[in-house]
Structure formats: C-alpha cells, structure tokens
Amino acid sequence: MKTLLSTIRKNEWINETVNWLNFIIKGQDVEHVMMKQLKPYINRLQPIFLEEDSPVNQKPKRRTLQVRLANKHDVKKIFDLELKGYDGYQAWTEADFRHDLETNPRAVYILLEDQTDPLSSQLIGMITGRARSNSAHISHLIIHPDFQDAKLGSYLLELWIKGMEFLKIPTITLEVRESNMVAQHVYKKHGFVVTSSKANYYRSNNETALNMKREQRTNDFE
C-alpha cells in the first residue's frame, strides 16, 4: 500500500511539473486535473430552487440556482464575491485567484449561480480549494450577503464532501477564525474536528486560526 501511495504521489508531482512547464514555456492553459475528474459528479447535479417572500396575493418568486465548475474567465466575479461575502476584506487578491486558476492543476472551484434569468446569471456562492490523492483543503466558502439565510453554505460544504468522496480522497482540512463560532458549528455538524491552531494567522487583526479536519468514512468509498 505504501509503495502504491508513493507511486501515485510521484506521478502527481510529475504531472504538476509538466503542467507548470507547459504554462511557463508554451503559454498553454494549465489542465485542472482534479476538476476534470470531478466534472461527471458536478454535471449530474440538478438545479435547486429558492422560494422568495412576496407581498400578499402575489405568487412567490422562485429562484433557480445551479452549481458548476469555474474557469479562468470567472476570476473577476470570484473576487467580487469575496469582497461582498467578507464585507470588503481581501483574503486573496484578484491576482491571487487568477494565479491559482491559471497555474494550479490541483485547484478545485465549485460555483453556485442564480440562473433565474438565463441572460444575466449571478454568482452567489462558492467553495474553493485544492485536492490531491490523499487529502483536500478548503480555502474559501463564501455566500453572497443577500443569500446567507438560505443554508447555502451547508449545501456547498456537503457538495465538497461528496465530491471528495467521489474522488476517493480520505481527508479534508480547512482553517477558520477562532471567533467565527457560526462557521465552526457548521463544520462540526459536518464531521470536522479541531486539530490545532495557528496564532496571528489572519492579517486583518492577527486573529488565531483553528485547523479543522474531516476523515472520510471507509464505507464512503465502497
């Protein structure tokens, strides 16, 4: 088993190096290996619907929400959502997102769009990170402020967990602010536990980050 895992990781390193060289030398777009493998799972997901409150005697408006994988053309929308979701705080700059999507073959970006009007879809949520054969990491879980009471954060987190099960990845990690009790409650509800902490991790206020981990159940891979 150890030999097999060593071979898999060695092949991952070789593939990432080839991807990076093609990007630097030939100007080719990086191949998003993990999103390519995840695509069959994402493509089979059905839209979800949100009923909005309406004035008396008026039919409630129903919003159509759909999940998809990101591409390099989504960078501006992704950055704008970060600013709205984090109330102006920049965890990553627009250049950070662009660099990640253009150069990281292990990047995984799952987007949630309001497609009620097909001609003007709106990005309202995202969960992003990276994945390897032995572990995945969540970097961002953001919901637009106008939709934060609809439990869409839990929806995207569940999609990420099931997506990693689809890829047979056994471990998921993330960081969360020590003061963000709401997010911690959501993560714990989905099987994450605190494993350690990082002092002065967040640049905005030198707040401590809690490292959290979820070990996938063995029967998830059967």
Q: How are beta strands 171-177 and 136-143 bridged, if at all?
A: parallel
**Tens digits of per-residue pLDDT, 69-114?**
999 999 999 999 999 999 888 899 999 999 999 999 999 999 999 9
Burial 30-63 (b: 16+ CB within 10 A, else e): bebbbbeebeebbeeeeeeebeeeeeeeeeeeeb
CA-based torsion, 162, 124, 183, 138: positive or negative: positive
Name the strands in the sheet holding 171-177, side by side, starting at the edge strand that comes first in the sequence.
48-52, 61-69, 107-114, 122-131, 136-143, 171-177, 207-215, 193-202
Residue with tokens 């998003």: 32
CA–CA dist 66, 121 (Å, integer) = 10
Map 102-123 to HEC letters. Answer: HHCCCEEEEEEEECCCCCCCEE
Mean pLDDT in runs of 10 for the chain (222 residues)? 45 50 53 95 96 68 94 96 92 95 95 92 97 96 95 97 96 97 96 97 92 82 51
Do 145 and 80 contact (CB within 8 A), yes or no? no
Give the count of beta carbons closer than 10 Å to the beta carbon of residue 26. 8
Place of tokens 């494993």: 195
If you ran DSSP here, which 8-state letter would residue 86 be given?
Answer: T
Which pTM does this prediction carry? 0.85
What is the reported pLDDT for 164? 97
Q: What is the pLDDT of residue 12?
A: 55
Q: For residue 38, give Cα distances in angstroms to 41, 127, 191, 221.
A: 6, 14, 22, 15
pLDDT score recorded for residue 177: 95
Cα diameter, the chain: 67
Q: What pLDDT is stored for residue 218 in this prediction?
A: 56
State both tokens at 38. 């995840």
Residue linked to tokens 């080839």: 18
Residue 33 confidence (pLDDT):
94
